[in-house]
Amino acid sequence: MNGAGKPSSVKRRANNHTTPANGVKVANGAMAKTASTHFSDASFMKWTVADAVHVATHHWIPCLFALGLLFFMGVEYTLFMVPPSSPPFDLGFIATRHLHAILESSPDLNTLLAALNTVFVGMQTTYILWTWLIEGRPRATISTLFMFTCRGILGYSTQLPLPQEFLGSGADFPVGNVSFFLFFSGHVAGSVIASLDMRRMQRKELAWTFDVLNVLQAVRLLGTRGHYTIDLAVGVGAGILFDSLAGKYEDSKRKGAALTTKHDFS
């Protein structure tokens, strides 16, 4: 035995394990080792210069969006906010200020363009109903129902102020200068839905015609201050979104019908 004041000559081996209260042994540093392993196996650790060049040359669109993200982060964080007493800032209004001045000084021209725009809305409606009632393809009609329902919910939830320079017309749609939702543009979304259906049916010339008329419609709506720019942009996205959702709805119904038929014969 060692003396009381004499240090022990037996060296204990360092214990690399700890025993938690539940009795399970966990190796010291195991978590750190696991984290290190995951870090070394991370995808970006294997990137090379050749990979970066490949991304820049073959995926340049996402690269542009990445630059756009950085640019607009700088814009957003240095922007002077529009005060509550001022009208909303709209770049589309600035771009169409000359058109607005012409339409303001010529009510007859404003009425003529409004009437032509109403005819275009009638063309959209006629085509969408034709695809369902005559051709038996309900997708465009379903997407339009989805779109206008969502537009009603959003338009009522956030009711934007009517632009101060709004130029109304009795020939516009809705006819008679009745109240309407600003967000988002049903004119634009309906045209996009019709155009997408035309492309599915290989009616490309008609689709391009609708696209050109839709652009002219958007310019006219900005010139008359009938919509903000964001209303028109979201209208394009809404048309694409609800057309896609209508397609998924049809696919789900077809799959459900196929499963039902399979069970009936099994």
The residues carrying an active-site annotation are: 187, 227, 231
Amino acid (one-letter) located at 97: R
Residue 238 to residue 146: CA distance in whole angstroms:
10
Return all residues near 211 (Cβ < 8 A) that are at least 6 apart.
191, 195
Instruction: Output the six-digit token pair for 251.
Output: 């696919």
The kind and range of the H/E element at 34 are helix 30-40
Decide: 182 and 160 in contact? Cβ < 8 Å: yes
Which of 86-122 are b and which e, b meaning 16 or more Cβ less than 10 Å from the residue's Cβ?
Answer: eeeebebbeebeeebeebeeeeeebbebbbebbebbe
Angle in degrees, 0-180, between the axes of helices 97-105 and 204-223, rounded to the nearest 10: 70
Residue 249 to residue 238: CA distance in whole angstroms:
16
